[in-house]
Amino acid sequence: MAKEWVSARSKTIGRTKIRKMYELEAQYDDVVSFTVGEPDFHTPQHIVDACLASLASHRTGYAPNRGVLKLREAVSERIAQTHGVTYDPETEILITAGGMNALRSAAEALIDPGDEVIVPDPYWCNHMHHPLLELGKTVTVPVREENNYMYDTAVLEEYLTPKTKAVTLNSPSNPTGGVISREQIEALCGFCRQHDLFLISDEVYEHIIYDGLAFYSPVMFEGMRERTLICSSFSKSYAMTGWRLGYAAGPAEVIDAMLKINENTIASPTTFVQDAGVAALRGPQEPLEEMVRTFEERRNILYRELNAIPGLRVGKPQGAFYAFADIRGTGLSSEEFAVRLLQEQRVSVTPGDGFGAAGEGYVRMSYALSTEKLLEGMRRIRRFINNIQSSK
């Protein structure tokens, strides 16, 4: 019998429905795509210029494994401003290759086989598929629209076991656009302290928040800094998805463990990309503010237009650039809705069940696309629904 080369462990990792929809939509022309999870803006010019200047001065060697010190200092300053908490750039910050690398290293640093990690359902699929899957056990806890898709601690209690080690939080959330309120985060922090749990706080959408709502991180609350790891990224805030730059901030012993993992895998992110990261954090923030204003306008259009289509309903997303639309009124499953909408009207959305069982009956729509395309997408979705209804 031929030898099996591919590990059993790697076979347990599934493909995400986001990727599947990308591949499917590539087979059609003139698609209006609501699948893509990246800003449709260019990286601000001053960041590009900083990268070019760094390259021109031959900053092309290995960076320190923790990351370029100047960038760690800039991250520390930024967290002090936004969170009011100080992290030592020497020991408590690690520069990573995007948020994903931060999350993956965090999982490797924190989770042993048998440990359970709580993840909300709906979840961002890579929280399940990528970082945690084969390391420990992810336990999905349903979250509800009426709670902004954030945890209810009474429900969390039901899923708690002696093996529960950590909880993941993602606010603002992908795929729902939900943002945790002060009351909810206080309850969650109290729950983690009471049950001695660690919190992995995925804050990649921290700056993309609407309606003047406040952003809350667990570390802003008493007794949480020592049991929380912040994972964040330049990808979304600075339209830098392809640059692969992010960071983690947390207790020195966790950062040290992550450092060992990164030292033996990626070594460090690209040196001149890290120099550009300094410009992103210390340079003008107007491009970020302008991008958030634009997303908010699109959010308003999507909310208005989608709710005017019979059979569809969407709550108002509070952050990130995703809407989680309820399609149960059409009688179709999430998968049928997404595939037929693409085949019949050339509009691509991601089936909600790709984000956990609680996502069935919903589709995720990213509004990182121009207003013109957004409106064209809405016209096509209306036609799709009209066609379904008239064929009933």
Residues within the interface to ligand PLP (CB under 6 A): 37, 98-100, 124, 170, 174, 202, 204, 233, 235, 241, 246
Closer CB to ligand PLP, residue 204 or residue 219? 204
| Residue 169, token pair as written in the block | 């939080």
Choice between 54 and 235, CB closer to ligand PLP:
235
- Give me the least distance between CB of 231 and ligand PLP, in Å please: 7
CB of 48 to ligand PLP, least distance (A): 18
Of 335, 347, 332, 333, nearest in space to 382 by CA: 347
Residue 47 or residue 312: which is nearer to ligand PLP going by CB? 47
Q: Which of 339, 324, 322, 341 is nearest to 385 (CA)?
A: 341
Measured from the CB atom, is 229 or 332 closer to ligand PLP?
229
| Pick from 190, 199, 183, 207: nearest CA to 82 | 207
- State which residue, 184 or 235, has the beta carbon closest to ligand PLP: 235
Least gap, CB of 102 to ligand PLP (angstroms) = 8
- Separation between Cα atoms, residue 344 and residue 350, nearest integer Å: 15
State the minimum distance, in angstroms, from the CB of residue 129 to ligand PLP.
12
Residue closer to ligand PLP, measured from CB, 208 or 327 = 208
384 CB-near residues (< 8 Å, 6+ apart): 340, 341, 344, 345, 347
Rg (CA), the chain: 21
Q: Which is nearer to ligand PLP, 51 or 100 (CB)?
A: 100
Minimum CB distance to ligand PLP, residue 99 (Å) = 3
Question: What is the rounded CA–CA span in Å between residue 323 and residue 316?
Answer: 8
Minimum CB separation of residue 343 from ligand PLP in Å reads: 26
Minimum CB–partner distance for residue 246 and ligand PLP (Å):
5
Cis before residue 172, ω within 30 degrees of 0?
yes
Q: What is the distance between the alpha carbons of residues 211 and 318, in angstroms, rounded to a whole number?
A: 7
How near is the Cβ of 134 to ligand PLP at its closest, in Å?
19
Q: Determine what percent of the chain falls in helix, strand and coil, rounding each to the nearest 5.
A: 45, 15, 40
Q: Please, which residue, 204 or 314, has the CB nearer to ligand PLP? A: 204
Asked if 253 contacts 110 with a C-beta cutoff of 8 angstroms, the reply is: no
C-alpha torsion angle, residues 140, 143, 149, 150 (rounded to 10): -80
Using CA atoms, how far apart are residues 45 and 180, in angstroms rounded to an integer? 33
Beta strands in 86-180 (DSSP E): 93-96, 116-121, 137-142, 164-170
